[in-house]
Amino acid sequence: DPAALRARWRPAAGVLLVRSPVAPRLRARGAVQVDMPLAGVRVALHGVAVAVHRAEDQFEVEFQPDGAGVRALHRVLAEGAQQHAPFRPRAPRFRLTTPAVALAGEREVYATTLSVSRGGCSLRWAGPAPVVGELLRLRLGAALREVTAAFVVRWVDSDPHRTSVGLEVVRATADRWQAWAELATAGLPGA
């Protein structure tokens, strides 16, 4: 619930109030998972526990997200309140189904593209869903039409039967991706 999340965020102190069944050690690094299924948001915030208070049968933890976590939290709050960032026109999408391998940390996940654009792609994901904001490398195509590029996860749509993931290409590998996307989608109708 966006309103409940906003009520638990203390921007002046830079802490998020979180309930936990166990008391973390002070200054211990950890992560807090924020799920807002109706807004299509799932993100892990990394940071430290700066204070712990007993609250009935649980603990109330003052969790201080790191810089990237604060930015992600602001984005989640904006998404939840539908106060989106300034509009950015999106590149045309093309339906293109091709196998892909995502390298997320130490794990390889098999996927299939659903659509491709100059700015990224959407995938049908096989395996545990990635987290919004996570960086990964994606390899797709074959032989002379193969490309590997870096992406950031922008959205995750998951239910018990399938997971779809939206990726935005990282600027450092954008030229390589865009050249591949133009070649791979030449002559295809827009999605």
Sheet holding 9-10, edge to edge: 9-10, 15-20, 58-65, 41-55, 29-36
Q: Does the pLDDT value for residue 79 go beyond 70?
A: no
Averaged pLDDT, 82-92 = 58
Burial class (CB in 10 A: 0-12, 13-18, 19+), 165: buried
> Could you give the 3-state DSSP secondary structure of residue 165?
strand
Segment 18-28 mean pLDDT? 90
pLDDT digits (tens, 9 = 90+) for 141-150: 776 678 899 9
Per-residue pLDDT at 81: 56
Average pLDDT over the chain, rounded to an integer? 83
**Which pTM was predicted?**
0.55
Which residue type is seen at 33? Q
